[in-house]
Amino acid sequence: MTKNTTTQWMVGLTVAGPLLILAACSGAGSGSTSDGSCTTTLRTLFSNNNFITCVNCHQGSGSSSQTNLDMTSADTAYNGLLATVQSPSNPSQCANVKRVVPQHPELSYLMGILFADYNSSNFGGVSNCQPPYASHSQSLNLPPNAEADIKAWINCGANQ
């Protein structure tokens, strides 16, 4: 990303960001109540089985994915989801990229792993950082509204 493009993006985010957050946390089906307060939490996502297939690989500190992301419960997953990307997910290319950035699904590595629309070879503006969507898409069997639910959770602040 060039300096000019980055500046334009940051100005756009500064101006549009608060509006997008308000829009994301209002209305039916967005993880919010009619007064605009967010109701979607990580525990809600787990109770709705949004991460049911993740536990097949991401269980315990020695998970088969070697990422130290334990998805067996909302409690064990929370800190790992708010951490930076770890091996083997290309930390050298994705240094300082967070798995989840509260209020920013477009910068949340988790979205790039789970949903094709968020995946890119320069994820989060970081050159050569690409979430492993292909390896996850083959084993995913997410509920129909998982993308909307996870996005609402992130937009609402990624609360536990």
Query: What is the 3 state secondary structure string of 99-160?
Result: CCCCCCHHHCHHHHHHCHHHCCCCHHHCCCCCCCHHHHHCCCCCCCCHHHHHHHHHHCCCCC
Q: Which residues have a Cβ under 8 Å from the Cβ of 77 and sit 6 or more positions away? A: 42, 46, 51, 58, 69, 70, 71
Residue 93 within a domain:
yes
> Taking Cα atoms as reference points, which of 160, 55, 157, 154 lies closest to residue 111?
154
- Whether the pLDDT of residue 40 is over 50: the answer is yes
- Whether the pLDDT of residue 104 is over 50: the answer is yes
- Whether the pLDDT of residue 42 is over 90: the answer is yes
For residue 81, what pLDDT is reported?
92
Supply 151's token pair.
């996005």
- DSSP three-state, residue 52: coil
Residue 73 within a domain:
yes
At 142-152, the pLDDT tens digits run 888 999 999 99
What mean pLDDT comes out for the span 68-77?
A: 87
| CA angle, residues 31, 54, 114, in degrees to nearest 5 | 60
Q: For residues 111 and 107, what is the distance between their CA atoms, to the nearest angstrom?
A: 8
What mean pLDDT comes out for the span 14-24?
A: 36
For the ranges 2-6, 52-56, 74-78, the lowest mean pLDDT is seen at 2-6
Residue 141 within a domain:
yes
Is 93 or 91 the better-scoring residue by pLDDT? Answer: 93
Residue 160 within a domain:
no
For the ranges 9-23, 50-64, 93-107, 108-122, the lowest mean pLDDT is seen at 9-23
Please state the pTM of the whole predicted model.
0.73
Residue 129 within a domain:
yes
Domain range for 35: 3-155
For residue 52, what pLDDT is reported?
81
For residue 85, what pLDDT is reported?
81
DSSP single-letter state for residue 56: G
Q: What average pLDDT does the structure give for the chain? A: 75
Question: How many distinct structural domains can be found in the chain?
Answer: 1
Residue 126 within a domain:
yes
Residue 97 within a domain:
yes
For residue 14, what pLDDT is reported?
40
For residue 144, what pLDDT is reported?
85
Q: Which residues have a Cβ under 8 Å from the Cβ of 29 and sit 6 or more positions away? A: 145, 148
Residue 103 within a domain:
yes
